[in-house]
């Protein structure tokens, strides 16, 4: 195990480990999905340690990483699902057959037709399978058909604010300023990539590092995979999305914008670009939801980044971006906690987020400050007559409190609150 992972397993991000433990030994393939460098490999390594602590013998834990040179599909075009299958079968033969065998397979999307190998092992061997990937093609219609009813997706996100604090306290316990305000300022201006929380780089250095991840995903994972010929136009669309973070727009909006600039791009191409960015977990689509009609609308969605560091890596930090970043952080926290998240529409008013999880529901407005001459944030929530929790999340500590049952809460407290 690398030194990096040796250190990281002390901070195993229990929310994700508990998710994996809930499905341990169940006849279902666990697929961990998320953007590159969000911590999937470390979570898998931590889960291996958890299995060992539960009495599983090391020979019954088979761990493979398919991004190393040993399995690099660019350099070894012959490495396919057949070789993957035979290699794993050889390791299974050396395991103790009286116990379950655990397969922890990292970045499997690098192996063409990997699902054929996994399906065969799943059907014919006494195995419990966990795979990770950085591209939602893992869950493409073709693969879903092959593994129908046999897998569960477990989304992995970059660090929450609570996890960020844990990392900082662990790696830098003697920091001169470890106040909550200081940590939040750093989290807000850096984002949640785990490896950044373990360093004391300057803000500029952090942005350069995240730029490297962004370039890898956009250039290698998207441009090369989909043979994008007009890279300049693709990059312009990406920048449009980043600049309009948290704003309502659609593929048609993007098409019209570039048409007004006399730049040729088809609306089908825009749809493809958006889909590919979603597949690579750079962006998440947030659909609109009619609160009164209780149905999902298919127009004028919003897009949020998988980590706000991506925005900073392209444009640097700017106070003008505070409102959009604030909204993005709240969206990600809702998703981390297992909520389905929508933009709410009630009559001609908008609710920033309607979040649902089984029988639970939550309404959230997000604003930098509560303007004295506007009742938009609280007033829109008052239009909703049910008894589910309603929040206004703000950066203005002076206005926190309650208004007719609506909780006005500082962003730091909202992110750290255990139960909303």
Same domain for 228 and 136?
A: no
CB 174 within 8 A of CB 57: no
Biggest CA pair distance of the chain: 72
Burial 192-229 (b: 16+ CB within 10 A, else e): bbbbbbbeeeeeeebbebbeebbeebbeebbbeeeebe
Same domain for 120 and 240?
A: no
Mean pLDDT, the chain, rounded, equals: 90
pLDDT of 2 above 60: no
Counted domains in the chain: 2
CATH number for the domain including 87? 3.40.50.300
Please, what is the Cα angle at 237 between 313 and 212, to 5 degrees? 30
Q: Which of 155, 173, 199 is the C-terminal boundary of a domain?
A: 155
| Per-residue pLDDT at 387 | 94
Banded model confidence at residue 296, pLDDT cuts 50, 70, 90:
confident
Same domain for 194 and 323?
A: yes
- Among 58-67, 145-154, 201-210, 322-331, name the one with the lowest average pLDDT: 145-154
Phi/psi at 39 (5° precision): 115, 15
| Per-residue pLDDT at 4 | 43
CB 351 within 8 A of CB 345: yes
Higher pLDDT, 30 or 1: 30
pLDDT digits (tens, 9 = 90+) for 405-419: 999 999 999 999 999
Residue range 8-33: mean pLDDT, rounded: 86
Same domain for 41 and 88?
A: yes
| Per-residue pLDDT at 5 | 47
Residue 285: which of 321, 311, 249, 254 has the closest Cα? 249
Banded model confidence at residue 75, pLDDT cuts 50, 70, 90:
low
Same domain for 186 and 290?
A: yes
Same domain for 309 and 351?
A: yes
Residue range 365-378: mean pLDDT, rounded: 86
| Per-residue pLDDT at 291 | 85
CA distances from 200 to 48, 246, 281, 412 (A): 29, 29, 26, 21
pLDDT of 255 above 60: yes
| Per-residue pLDDT at 70 | 55
Same domain for 13 and 141?
A: yes
Q: Which of 120, 135, 155 is the C-terminal boundary of a domain?
A: 155
Strand-pair partners of 156: none
CB 350 within 8 A of CB 380: yes
Residue range 101-107: mean pLDDT, rounded: 96
Quickly tell me which residue has 């869950």 as its tokens. 139
Same domain for 137 and 260?
A: no
Higher pLDDT, 68 or 253: 253
Banded model confidence at residue 55, pLDDT cuts 50, 70, 90:
very high
Banded model confidence at residue 3, pLDDT cuts 50, 70, 90:
very low
pLDDT of 32 above 80: yes
DSSP designation for 244: T
Quickly tell me which residue has 């505070």 as its tokens. 322
The two beta strands, 340-346 and 283-290, are parallel
Same domain for 189 and 150?
A: no
Q: Which of 131, 155, 179 is the C-terminal boundary of a domain?
A: 155
- Among 112-126, 144-158, 289-303, name the one with the lowest average pLDDT: 289-303
Give the integer Cα–Cα distance in Å for 273 and 285.
13
Residue range 258-269: mean pLDDT, rounded: 95
Coil/strand/helix, residue 66: coil
| Per-residue pLDDT at 137 | 64
Same domain for 65 and 197?
A: no
Give the containing element (helix H, strand E) for 289: strand 283-290
Same domain for 299 and 258?
A: yes
- Among 149-158, 281-290, 369-378, name the one with the lowest average pLDDT: 369-378
Same domain for 250 and 336?
A: yes
pLDDT of 250 above 50: yes
Residue range 361-389: mean pLDDT, rounded: 91
Quickly tell me which residue has 């003697």 as its tokens. 174
Residue range 143-153: mean pLDDT, rounded: 79
| Per-residue pLDDT at 140 | 60
Per the structure, the complete domain to which residue 284 belongs is given by 162-416
Size of the chain, expressed as the number of residues it contains: 420
Give the integer Cα–Cα distance in Å for 119 and 123.
6
pLDDT of 39 above 60: yes
Query: How many CB atoms neighbour CB 16 within 10 A?
Result: 24
pLDDT above 70 coverage of the chain, percent: 92
CB 156 within 8 A of CB 306: no
DSSP designation for 217: I
């Amino acid at each position: 195990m690398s030194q990096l992972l040796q250190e990281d397993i002390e901070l195993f991000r229990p929310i994700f480990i508990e998710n994996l433990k809930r499905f341990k030994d169940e006849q279902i393939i666990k697929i961990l999905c998320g953007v590159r460098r969000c911590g999937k490999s470390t979570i898998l390594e931590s889960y291996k340690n958890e299995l060992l602590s539960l009495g599983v013998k090391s020979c019954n834990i088979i761990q493979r990483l398919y991004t190393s040179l040993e399995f690099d599909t660019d350099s070894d075009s012959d490495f396919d699902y057949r070789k993957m299958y035979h290699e794993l079968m050889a390791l299974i033969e050396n395991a103790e057959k009286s116990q379950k065998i655990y397969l922890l397979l990292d970045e499997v999307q690098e192996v063409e037709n990997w699902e054929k190998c996994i399906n065969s092992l799943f059907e014919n061997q006494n195995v419990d399978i966990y795979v990770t990937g950085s591209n939602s093609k893992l869950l493409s219609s073709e693969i879903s058909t092959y593994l129908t009813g046999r897998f569960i997706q477990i989304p992995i996100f970059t660090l929450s604010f609570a996890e960020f604090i844990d990392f900082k306290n662990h790696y830098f316990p003697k920091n001169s300023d470890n106040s909550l305000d200081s940590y939040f300022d750093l989290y807000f201006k850096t984002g949640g990539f785990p490896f950044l929380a373990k360093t004391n780089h300057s803000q500029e250095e952090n942005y350069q590092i995240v730029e490297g991840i962004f370039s890898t995903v956009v250039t290698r994972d998207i441009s090369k995979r989909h043979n994008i010929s007009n890279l300049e136009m693709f990059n312009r669309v990406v920048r449009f999305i980043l600049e309009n973070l948290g704003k309502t727009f659609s593929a048609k909006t993007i098409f019209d914008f570039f048409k007004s600039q006399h730049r040729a791009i088809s609306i089908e191409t825009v749809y493809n670009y958006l889909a590919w960015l979603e597949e690579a977990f750079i962006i998440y689509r947030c659909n609109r939801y009619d609160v009164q009609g209780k149905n999902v609308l298919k127009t004028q969605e919003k897009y949020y980044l998988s980590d706000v560091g991506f925005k900073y890596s392209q444009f640097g930090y700017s106070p003008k971006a505070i409102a959009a970043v604030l909204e993005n952080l709240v969206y990600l926290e809702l998703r981390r906690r297992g909520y389905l998240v929508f933009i709410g529409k009630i009559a001609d008013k908008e609710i920033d987020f309607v979040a649902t999880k089984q029988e639970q529901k939550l309404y959230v407005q997000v604003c930098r400050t509560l303007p004295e001459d506007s009742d938009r944030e609280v007033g829109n929530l008052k239009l909703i007559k049910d008894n589910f929790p309603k929040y206004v999340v703000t950066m203005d500590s002076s206005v926190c409190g309650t208004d007719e049952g609506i909780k006005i809460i500082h962003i730091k407290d909202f992110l750290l609150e255990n139960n909303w």
